[in-house]
Amino acid sequence: MSGRTTDKKQTKLDLAARFRQTRQRTLTLCKPLTPEDMMVQSCAEASPAKWHLAHTAWFFESFVLREFLPGYQLFNAEFPWLFNSYYRSFAAFPEKRLRASFSRPGLDDVLRFRAHVNEAVERMLGDDVSSEALARIELGVHHEEQHQELLLTDILNAFFANPLRPLYQAMEPTHALSTRTANPLHFVHFPGGLQEAGHAGAGFCFDNERPRHKVWLEPFALADRLVTNGEFAAFIADGGYRRPELWLNAGWDATQQNGWCAPLYWTEEDGAGAGGRWSLFTLRGAMPLERVAAVPVCHVSYFEADAYARWAGRRLATEYEWEAAAAGQTVAGNLLDAGRLMPAPASAGEPGRNQGLAQQWGDCWEWTSSAYLGYPGFQPLSGSLGEYNGKFMSGQMVLRGGSCVTPAAHIRASYRNFFPPETRWQSSGIRLAAL
């Protein structure tokens, strides 16, 4: 047996394990949820948890099994378009808001659909399978990881929309929040110069991380930790939401039209504007601001991140600066695998790890000042999968670094997340840059 064959066999074994774990984890995340919880779609960006369960199975069925498993039988002839999200060249699809009406198929059916797909993928993995098929399965795993994060993001929104504010999971003692103030913020300097950015090497990446290309960077500095809730509260107290000179024009309009006066999920106990006590809602329940003052501020829009930076006399980093600082660093931090499900204060021991930057991975996605556009020479995947990332390259901003609900295996230095600048339902926070 050649080494090459052995390698491929090992790759298959690794991928099979990754597939199983990922598929299983999606279910584990649903453990605290009732079938009724899994019906809720509480904002335009969100989908019901049950839909996430079904759509991630749909992805494997549509792009793996139907293309690469001869004789594969559809679980249900309606599902190919019912659970299509936005792939126009693949099939029609229901309006997004209708997902809230999918009481049928019931959760049991969806779980059977998942099992049907799992069994078929396992069958493929136990057999002779092309590299292209393996690559598609790997893509499906990464796709499912994205939806794991979305599922938790959407459940937080759903539970916040419910006036009873249900609890997803009680805080565990090991996650107890330190009540100390955050360390003073320091800036770590980077020399810049002619760099390379974009995915390098053989591992998995999305099409939007390619091609790797040269970019010139001026010297820059990044804050050694994220902005905290306490710091952001000072911005609010200083009239941050009432001073147009701090805001981009579109950001100011967003504050006025939406009545923003704090990050999403912050509520003022004694009524808006009354100078009351802030309470922050999380997957671990509601918490008074004082308790989480050292925790990174989360669920802010790009506009709020930008305004905060201007107020602080700083700026946001470009995605290239962020990537230059992250390149070569080991991925580790408060990611989904840590099980905390909310940002954590920068730990004393951590800052030394990555050129002095704490919280580079996990905690909060970091808004960058870069618009989400194709890299020079960008080529989307061929066929319907070309719609995965490329068609969204307009009107969105890049975020980097993953969050407390991002699977650790999912994130990397070249990973580009992207959302419109008014987005707040994501776990998005702020790292300041300077120079």
Task: Report the residue number, 122 or 387, with the smaller CB distance to its own copies.
Answer: 387
Q: Considering the rule CB under 8 A, would residue 249 count as an interface residue with its own copies?
A: yes
Token output for 8: 């491929």
Q: Considering the rule CB under 8 A, would residue 242 count as an interface residue with its own copies?
A: no
Supply the DSSP string of 330-356, one letter for each residue: PP-SBSGGG---S--PPPTTGGGSBTT
Closest distance of CB 137 from its own copies, Å = 25
Span near its own copies by CB under 8 A; candidates 130-138, 282-290, 336-344, 393-401: 393-401
Task: Report the residue number, 145 or 306, with the smaller CB distance to its own copies.
Answer: 306
Span near its own copies by CB under 8 A; candidates 21-29, 58-66, 131-139, 163-171: 163-171
Stretch (H or E) spanning 257: helix 249-258
Q: What residues are paired with 353 via a beta bridge?
A: none
String marking each residue 68-97 x if it binds its own copies according to CB under 8 A? ----------x--xx---x-xx----x---
Place of tokens 């006066």: 261
Closest distance of CB 284 from its own copies, Å = 16
Q: Considering the rule CB under 8 A, would residue 294 count as an interface residue with its own copies?
A: no
Q: Cα(334)–Cα(404) distance, rounded to whole angstroms?
A: 5
Residue pair 184/154 in contact by the 8 Å Cβ criterion: no
* Pairing mode of beta strands 278-282, 285-288: antiparallel
Q: Which of 309, 302, 270 is nearest to 419 (CA)?
A: 302
Span near its own copies by CB under 8 A; candidates 8-16, 169-177, 335-343, 391-399: 391-399
Q: Which of 83, 303, 284 is nearest to 166 (CA)?
A: 284
Q: Which of 391, 387, 386, 332 is nearest to 358 (CA)?
A: 332
Q: Is 417 helix (H, G, I), strand (E, B) or coil?
A: strand
Q: Considering the rule CB under 8 A, would residue 100 count as an interface residue with its own copies?
A: yes
Closest distance of CB 316 from its own copies, Å = 11
Within 28-47, the residues that bind its own copies by CB under 8 A are 34-42
Residue 63 carries which DSSP code? I
Q: Which residues bind its own copies (CB under 8 A)?
A: 34-42, 50, 78, 81-82, 86, 88-89, 94, 98, 100-107, 158, 161-164, 166, 194, 213-216, 218, 244-245, 247-252, 302-303, 306, 318, 369-371, 373-374, 376-377, 387, 391-395, 421, 435
